[in-house]
Amino acid sequence: MGCRSKVELNVCQVTFLISLCSIAVILAVFGWFRGIDIGDYKASSTSSKSNNKVAAVVHAPLRAMPHADDIGSPPLLNNAHSYVQWTFLQMNDVYELKPLGGGNKGGMARVATIRKLLLQENPNTITVVSGDVVSPSALGNSIVNGSMLNGRQMIGTLNVLGLNYAALGNHEFDLKETSLRRRLNESKFEWIGSNIYELNTTKPFHNIIPYKILTIANVKIVLIGLTIDDNLGPSSAPAYVHITSQ
């Protein structure tokens, strides 16, 4: 799970999200706030079209965010009215539900609470998983009603949590094809896969979206999901997916 300390979460505000699933790295800046100055934004967007809006955000100077100490308190920005603000709450490699350390670390209930607080702080809070949720999981190996959970516990929990978007991690493909497709069908959030196709086709795997454009106060933010191509299905069966190499 990424971005879980109090301070990081408080300022987990990024402009551009790329998930590189297998090593669970978000290639965006964490722990820092990037603001866009409306003045700069207007200047760049008058001369050309929407692509520049994204560029304007990406190139906006990094500013350390003076922040209140608690999640749920509005960030204390100088001239807050001149910034468009958003928050990404991101996690990856989560397979279990319960916290660790005697209830003091991690756990999906804590994520749910943090999400609620962040939403109070800023309704433009987007919760994302950048891969590896349905496998490998000890709990996922439990047999319930005669069949293995295979990540059902995570999809059910993330649905209730209110997850917005997820990228497929390489470990998702540890599951047999039917199980993974069932998990995708059960999801109430959107999966994003920018480099994953049905085997031998150019059709996106399971009709998942290749990217998502969010618009927050006229600022466009593109989300893409990249997965490394080292796992195309369980080794016991032929590959069922095509992942283009980065």
Ligand X SMILES: *[C@@H]1O[C@H](CO)[C@@H](O)[C@H](O)[C@H]1NC(C)=O
Name the residue nearer to ligand X (CB basis): 117 or 148: 148
Does residue 142 belong to the site contacting ligand X (CB under 6 A)?
no
For the beta carbon of residue 39, count every other beta carbon within 10 angstroms.
9
- Pick 4 or 181: Cβ nearer ligand X: 181
- In the complex, minimum distance from the CB of residue 145 to ligand X, in angstroms, rounded to a whole number: 4
Terminus-to-terminus CA distance in the chain, angstroms?
A: 24
CB of 182 to ligand X, least distance (A): 5
CB of 206 to ligand X, least distance (A): 8
Q: Residue 155 CB, nearest distance to ligand X (Å)? A: 12
Single-letter code of the amino acid located at 236: S
Considering the complex, state which of residue 181 and residue 220 has its C-beta at the smaller distance from ligand X: 181
Site membership for ligand X, residue 145 (CB under 6 A):
yes
Q: Of the two residues 5 and 185, which places its CB atom closer to ligand X in the complex?
A: 185
- Exposure of 118 by Cβ count < 10 A (0-12 exposed, 13-18 middle, 19+ buried)? buried
Handedness of CA 216, 59, 20, 5 (dihedral sign): negative
Under the binding rule (CB under 6 A), the answer on residue 4 touching ligand X is: no
CA–CA separation, 43 and 26 (whole Å): 30
For 63, list phi and psi in degrees, rounded to 5.
Answer: -130, 135
- Residue 246 burial class via C-beta count within 10 angstroms: exposed 0-12, middle 13-18, buried 19 and up: exposed
Instruction: Output the smallest distance, CB 153 to ligand X, in A.
Output: 9
SS3 244: coil
Residue 245 identity: S
Q: How far is CA 194 from CA 79, 129, 166, in A?
A: 37, 15, 12
Give the 3-state secondary structure of residue 180.
helix
Between 200 and 235, name the residue whose CB sits nearer to ligand X: 200
Q: Min. distance of Cβ 237 from ligand X in angstroms? A: 12
**Least distance between ligand X and beta carbon 195 (Å):** 17
Nearer to ligand X, 77 or 209 (CB): 209
Upstream peptide bond of 136 is cis (omega within 30 degrees of 0) = yes
Binding mask 172-211 for ligand X (x = CB under 6 A): ------x--xx--x-------------xx-----------
Kindly tell me which residue out of 64, 138, 143, 144 binds ligand X, with binding defined by CB under 6 A.
144
The letter for the amino acid at 32 is W
And the tokens for 213?
């454009």
Q: Pick the closer one to ligand X by CB: 63 or 242.
A: 242
Would you tell me which residues interact with ligand X (CB under 6 A)? 144-145, 178, 181-182, 185, 199-200
